[in-house]
Every structure is written in structure tokens, then in C-alpha cells.
């Protein structure tokens, strides 16, 4: 999706669309710059509206359906990531010649420090956080944010940075032109947000915008979609040891190890985050840091202790308990098929038993048949719940025949209870929904905490039963 260059005249008439975290960060940034601006939101009563009115008393605030004539009367629209540019009112403004921008474009125009830019369908929060830890461990002032933690523009209120590490969504990239990152990457690409994009080609085009003006590019050799559509200095990583990638995985004396060229850096056993998908995340983080070592005056080997200590992120293949020999993992952040595919493959390879997979929610227009093969290999049963459970189950059928075992439940509680009843020591219970959460939960974090509480409650019941048996 093309964007128009941001208007910069002092008398520019600006409208900020969307009153969520990103929109409000744009409003606060604009206020610090002394700009005049108005605000709007498609919701009739956005959360915290009274506080927003008090914080920005000089701005008019419009709530309810977006109006094309109103938006077309502005010089520039600063559009929040959650608002699609395809909205008819925004399209009317674009056709009228109104400039389109977003929070990352504003950030790019006003920050003169190097940026590490990270996107992808899966793993980007883990990689972004790990890169920040690696750099800060070496004494580099690396500020982390964007699509996680603080919005990018709020980082400009923090201490002086040596470098910024930004997780960027495809939605943010739609309104970003020529980011000119020090190093940029698409970690991987799989079907997601098909309710917003016309197809994978459209989705990939949004992701590829991260490479515009990048000095260095990190490429996942295992995924052709991560290769930039223009020339740049490429640093490659791969889970194979075919010799074609700078960073790769290779078995050494019976243990998987991470290598840079011919140098063995550390073994998989030294890394706290588990699964092959997380080994790919660590390889990507090494490649990204490698691209900036010279600029920052550090050595890659200095960062290895931070990798060994990195605990992983909540709701991302997070171990949350063991129930009678059954490990339970919370991957509530697995909101698309590709993420769940990575979790199943990543945990399944080393599992002693089978995976009991809890999945379901709002399907976002995805297809789920890509899960069939790994589920046949690693999963005992797919326990579906939520709004689109029936639609999802149809993708596990062919000519009326089930390709892998699945059942439908009304709630996660019911699905978890069956998984707990049927699993045996060595098995895994994995919450990796492959769907959005907002049919039954506020967001993926609330969903993950709910699952963690189910495990905690079940653990208490197990302990009580054990005490009764010993009495």
C-alpha cells in the first residue's frame, strides 16, 4: 500500500485517527512538537474519553463512524495501526490528496539514532526483546518498543539511546516509507490477518516495506519470503547446516549447537527458551546484533551471557507447570496458524509423548489445513473451543473423513479438563490457539493468564489428591 509523503509545514492541519496506545502516543508527540491537531475514533465512546479530552483540551475530538468529507478537509492523517487504510473514509481522503502517515513514520522523521527493525508473522516479540537484552548487556543503551512495550514515539521521552530496537507490525509498515533502518528483517511469513489483506501477496508487500533504505538485511534462508526485493548487505540464518548461511544450527557430539561461520557459539542446552522455533529466534537475534557490532563497538561473543539468561516472554511457549508428569505450555500469543505450527513442531520434536493441543477463537479468515501434517505427527488430539471452532474443524476434514483427531468444546475449561484427563506422563498440554482471543477474552494476555490459572488450580488439586493418598 503506497503512502503519501508527510506534510511538514508548520500550519499543517492534522487529524490523528484512533485513540488507542499508538494514537495517543502520536497525540502526545504532536503536542510536544507544538503542532495543532484533532482526534477521532470510530468507536462512539472510546475508553478513557474524558481523560483524553482533559489531556488535549485544544483538540476537537470526533467519535463514531469515520466521515470522508471531514477527513478530506485535513492536510495530513496520522493513522493508527489498528485502522485499515482501506476504510472508505480514509480512501476518500487519499483520493483528495491528503497525506497519510503513522507513528513509525513520525518516529523515523524525528530520530537520528540507528534503528534495528524487526517484523515477521511469528517470533518478533521474542527476537526484539532478546536483541535488546543482548545489547544492553554489553553496555549499549538500547531502547526497545514499537509493537511491544512502549510505542516508538514514547521511547523518545526516555533516556538518550544509542540504538532503538523496534518490533513492527505489517499494519505499522503500511504507513511507513523509507525507514532507513541500520538493519531490518522479516523473520518468517505465514498466513495472518487475512481479514484485512486481499491475500498473501498483499500481506507480504506490507512486510517488505521494512527493507526500504535498510543498510543491512537479515534473511531467513529457510523462508524465501524474507528475502528483500532490492539489493542490500544480507546476513543469513538457518536451522540447517548446509553451509549457505552465516548463522546456523549444527549437531556437535550429539547436541544441537549454534554457529557463526565455523565458530561454535553455544549449545541448545544452554538456552532457556525451548523448541526449534526458538533456536531460529536466537539465530535471528545473533544475526541482527552481528550487523551492528562494528557500529556500536562491541563483539558478538560479549552478548552470549544475555542469551543464556533470557527467560523468554509470557504467553509465548511459556512453561507454566507440570501435572503428574505432563508439562503445560502457554502459547496464547500464538494468534495465527504459522505461530501454532512453529509451537507444535518446536515442542513436538523433543517430546517424549504426544501434544494435547488447545486451539480456537476468532479465525481471522485463515485456513488451518497447514496444521494437519504436524498434528498427525505430534498431536494426540486437537481440542477446539470458541466462536470459529466448527470452521476450523472443517479444515481437518477431507471428503467427510477426519485427517487428524479433533473435538469441539464450548470453553477452554472443558477442553483443558479433557486434555488433563487423557494425557499421561511425558505428554504435553499446549495452549496455542492459532486464533484471535476476543470472542471469549479481552486479549491474548488475559487468555494466557486464564490458562495459567487452570494449570495452577489443577496443580493444587493434584497436590491435595497426593496428600490424601499418603494419609
Task: Answer yes or no: do 323 and 368 share one domain.
Answer: yes
Catalytic residue among 108, 137, 147, 216: 147
5 lies in some domain = no
State yes or no: pLDDT of 3 exceeds 50.
Answer: no
When pLDDT is averaged across residues 113-138 and rounded to a whole number, the result is 96
Structural domain total, the chain: 3
Give the pLDDT score at 192: 67
When pLDDT is averaged across residues 272-286 and rounded to a whole number, the result is 91
Task: Answer yes or no: do 350 and 261 share one domain.
Answer: no
227-to-186, 232, 236 alpha-carbon distances in Å: 8, 10, 10
Q: Give per-residue pLDDT as tens, 369-413.
A: 999 999 999 999 999 999 999 999 999 999 889 999 999 999 999
Q: Give per-residue pLDDT as tens, 280-303.
A: 999 999 999 999 999 999 999 999
Confidence of residue 342 (pLDDT cuts 50, 70, 90): confident
Domain boundary among 101, 116, 131: 101
State yes or no: pLDDT of 6 exceeds 70.
Answer: no
322-to-36, 114, 144, 169, 419 alpha-carbon distances in Å: 55, 43, 32, 34, 13
200 lies in some domain = yes
CATH code assigned at 148: 3.40.1190.10
Distance of CA 127 to the CA centre of its chain: 9
Give the pLDDT score at 7: 43
State yes or no: pLDDT of 125 exceeds 50.
Answer: yes
State yes or no: pLDDT of 272 exceeds 50.
Answer: yes
State yes or no: pLDDT of 467 exceeds 50.
Answer: no
Task: Answer yes or no: do 135 and 254 share one domain.
Answer: yes
Which of 407, 410, 425, 424 has the alpha carbon at shortest distance from 357? 407
6 lies in some domain = no
State yes or no: pLDDT of 115 exceeds 70.
Answer: yes
Catalytic site includes residue 147: yes
Catalytic residue among 108, 124, 333, 364: 124
Task: Answer yes or no: do 48 and 113 share one domain.
Answer: no
Catalytic site includes residue 124: yes
Q: Give per-residue pLDDT as tens, 220-268.
A: 999 988 999 776 789 999 998 766 899 999 999 989 999 999 999 999 9
Task: Answer yes or no: do 348 and 414 share one domain.
Answer: yes
Task: Answer yes or no: do 347 and 404 share one domain.
Answer: yes
CATH code assigned at 42: 3.40.50.720
9 lies in some domain = no
Residue 338's Cβ-count burial label (10 Å; 0-12, 13-18, 19+) is buried
In total, the chain counts a number of residues equal to 471
Task: Answer yes or no: do 92 and 144 share one domain.
Answer: no
Task: Answer yes or no: do 210 and 305 share one domain.
Answer: yes
Task: Answer yes or no: do 141 and 155 share one domain.
Answer: yes
Residue 117 to residue 133: CA distance in whole angstroms: 15
CATH code assigned at 429: 3.90.190.20
19 lies in some domain = yes
Q: Give per-residue pLDDT as tens, 20-77.
A: 999 999 999 999 999 999 999 999 999 999 999 999 999 999 999 999 999 999 999 9
Give the pLDDT score at 275: 83
Q: Give per-residue pLDDT as tens, 412-464.
A: 999 999 999 999 999 999 999 999 999 999 999 999 999 999 999 998 866 54
State yes or no: pLDDT of 354 exceeds 90.
Answer: yes
236 lies in some domain = yes
Q: Give per-residue pLDDT as tens, 190-233.
A: 866 667 777 888 888 899 999 999 999 999 999 988 999 776 78
Domain boundary among 101, 118, 133: 101
Task: Answer yes or no: do 214 and 362 share one domain.
Answer: no
Q: Give per-residue pLDDT as tens, 163-194.
A: 999 999 999 999 999 999 999 999 998 866 66
Task: Answer yes or no: do 85 and 175 share one domain.
Answer: no
When pLDDT is averaged across residues 7-20 and rounded to a whole number, the result is 82
Task: Answer yes or no: do 460 and 375 share one domain.
Answer: yes
4 lies in some domain = no
State yes or no: pLDDT of 471 exceeds 80.
Answer: no
Give the pLDDT score at 355: 97
Q: Which has the higher per-residue pLDDT, 277 or 40?
A: 40
Q: Which domain holds residue 322?
A: 318-470
Domain boundary among 64, 84, 101: 101
66 lies in some domain = yes
Catalytic residue among 108, 137, 193, 207: 193
Amino acid at each position: 500500500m503506497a503512502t503519501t509523503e508527510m506534510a511538514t509545514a508548520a500550519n499543517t492541519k492534522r487529524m490523528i485517527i484512533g485513540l488507542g496506545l499508538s494514537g495517543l502516543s502520536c497525540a502526545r508527540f504532536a503536542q510536544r512538537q507544538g503542532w495543532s491537531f484533532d482526534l477521532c475514533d470510530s468507536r462512539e465512546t472510546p475508553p478513557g474519553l474524558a481523560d483524553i479530552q482533559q489531556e488535549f483540551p485544544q483538540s476537537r475530538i470526533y467519535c463514531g463512524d469515520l466521515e470522508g468529507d471531514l477527513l478530506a478537509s485535513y492536510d495530513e492523517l496520522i493513522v493508527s495501526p489498528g485502522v485499515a487504510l482501506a476504510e472508505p473514509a480514509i480512501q476518500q481522503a487519499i483520493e483528495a490528496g491528503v497525506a497519510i502517515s503513522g507513528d513509525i513514520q513520525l518516529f523515523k522523521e524525528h530520530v537520528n539514532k540507528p534503528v534495528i527493525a524487526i517484523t515477521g508473522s511469528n517470533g518478533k516479540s521474542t527476537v526484539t526483546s532478546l536483541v535488546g537484552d543482548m545489547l544492553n548487556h554489553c553496555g549499549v543503551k538500547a531502547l526497545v518498543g514499537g509493537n511491544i512495550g512502549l510505542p516508538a514515539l514514547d521511547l523518545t521521552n526516555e533516556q538518550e539511546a544509542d540504538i532503538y530496537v523496534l518490533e513492527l507490525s505489517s499494519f505499522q509498515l503500511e504507513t511507513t516509507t523509507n525507514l532507513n533502518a541500520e538493519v531490518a528483517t522479516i523473520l518468517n511469513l505465514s498466513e495472518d490477518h487475512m481479514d484485512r489483506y486481499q491475500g498473501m501477496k498483499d500481506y507480504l508487500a506490507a512486510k517488505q516495506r521494512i527493507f526500504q533504505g535498510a543498510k543491512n538485511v537479515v534473511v531467513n534462508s529457510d523462508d524465501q519470503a524474507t528475502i528483500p526485493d532490492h539489493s542490500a548487505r544480507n546476513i543469513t540464518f538457518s536451522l540447517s547446516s548446509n553451509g549457505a548461511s552465516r548463522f546456523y544450527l549444527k549437531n556437535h557430539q550429539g547436541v544441537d549447537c549454534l554457529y557463526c561461520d565455523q565458530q561454535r557459539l553455544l549449545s541448545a542446552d544452554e538456552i532457556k527458551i525451548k523448541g526449534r522455533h526458538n533456536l531460529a529466534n536466537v539465530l535471528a537475534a545473533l544475526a541482527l546484533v552481528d550487523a551492528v557490532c562494528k557500529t556500536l563497538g562491541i563483539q558478538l561473543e560479549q552478548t552470549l551471557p544475555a542469551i543464556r539468561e533470557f527467560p523468554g516472554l509470557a504467553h509465548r511457549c511459556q512453561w507454566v507447570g507440570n501435572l503428574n508428569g505432563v508439562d503445560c505450555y502457554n502459547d496464547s500469543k500464538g494468534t495465527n496458524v504459522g505461530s501454532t505450527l512453529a509451537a507444535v513442531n518446536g515442542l513436538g520434536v523433543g517430546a517424549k509423548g504426544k501434544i494435547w493441543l488447545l486451539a480456537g477463537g476468532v479465525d481471522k479468515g485463515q485456513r488451518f489445513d497447514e496444521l494437519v501434517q504436524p498434528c498427525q505427527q505430534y498431536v494426540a488430539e486437537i481440542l477446539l473451543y470458541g466462536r470459529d471452532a466448527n470452521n476450523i474443524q472443517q479444515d481437518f476434514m477431507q471428503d467427510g473423513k477426519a485427517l487428524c483427531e479433533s473435538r469441539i468444546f464450548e470453553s477452554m475449561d472443558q477442553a483443558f479438563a479433557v486434555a488433563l484427563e487423557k494425557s499421561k506422563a511425558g505428554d504435553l498440554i499446549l495452549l496455542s490457539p492459532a486464533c484471535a482471543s476476543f470472542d471469549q477474552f479481552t486479549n491474548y494476555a488475559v487468555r494466557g493468564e486464564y490458562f495459567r490459572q487452570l494449570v495452577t488450580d489443577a496443580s493444587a488439586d493434584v497436590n491435595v489428591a497426593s496428600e490424601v493418598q499418603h494419609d
